[in-house]
Amino acid sequence: MALGPLLAEQLRGTRDWTLKLLADIADDGWYFQPAPGLAHPLWLCGHLAASQNTLVHVRCLGRSVLGDDFATHFPIAGPVKSAAEHVYPLPAEVREIMDEVHTKTFRAVCEMSDALLSEPAFAKDGALHPHYRDKRGAVTHCFRHEAFHAGQLALLRRLLGKPFLR
């Protein structure tokens, strides 16, 4: 079996878990922050869409599938702004974009050849990325990254009084 479809299934499995964690988030729950500067579910969804775009479409394929304006709402590093501090896109729009990016990512990864996946992947500055050296690593980092943030979503759910999920 080629590596692309196998990696795509890993992406799908991680996303399935993320979607289960999001299924019963509603209304103000999207903006819940346990303390100032910490991530809320809406920010995590937008950040996952922007990150998946960067890791797969930009780093591996050299072209973005996401508008620049969307990603500016969900930057990496630094404190996360609350809904009172920043005008975020609505949850339905963020979820739609998150789903669209993932659909495009799944298809793109399925079509990646083993040769392409073995090519170097570079960071913004043109250097090899500290977390991965090749495009296979960029894709692998994508589902590892999402699993990390799914853990944050699981904790936020519990803090919102939602039941434990398996």
Rg (CA), the chain: 16
For residue 61, give the 3-state DSSP assignment. Answer: coil
Average pLDDT on 14-19 reads: 98
104: its two tokens: 């495009």
152: its two tokens: 């944050």
Tally of CB atoms within 10 A around 139: 28
Per-residue model confidence (pLDDT) at position 75: 85
Per-residue model confidence (pLDDT) at position 67: 87
Give the DSSP per-residue string, 66-125: S-HHHHTTS-SSSPBPPTTTS-PPPHHHHHHHHHHHHHHHHHHHHT--HHHHTSB-B-TT
Q: What is the mean pLDDT of the chain?
A: 94
Has residue 95 got a pLDDT over 80? Answer: yes
Per-residue model confidence (pLDDT) at position 1: 72
Residues of the chain above pLDDT 70, percent: 100
Average pLDDT on 46-55 reads: 95
Has residue 166 got a pLDDT over 80? Answer: no
Average pLDDT on 68-78 reads: 87
Per-residue model confidence (pLDDT) at position 125: 81
What's the residue count for the chain? 166
**Angular region, 162: left φ>0, alpha ψ -120 to 50, beta rest:** beta
20: its two tokens: 């289960």
136: its two tokens: 């296979």
- CATH fold, domain 3-159, is Four Helix Bundle (Hemerythrin (Met), subunit A) (1.20.120)
Q: Among 95, 75, 73, 72, which residue's Cα sits nearest to residue 153? A: 95
Per-residue model confidence (pLDDT) at position 46: 97
Please indicate, yes or no, whether the overall pTM of this predicted structure exceeds 0.75. yes
Average pLDDT on 39-55 reads: 96
Interval 127-136: pLDDT, tens: 888 888 899 9
Average pLDDT on 48-76 reads: 92
The domain limits of the chain are 3-159
User: Which distant-in-sequence residues (6+ apart) come within 8 Å of 12 by Cβ?
Assistant: 106
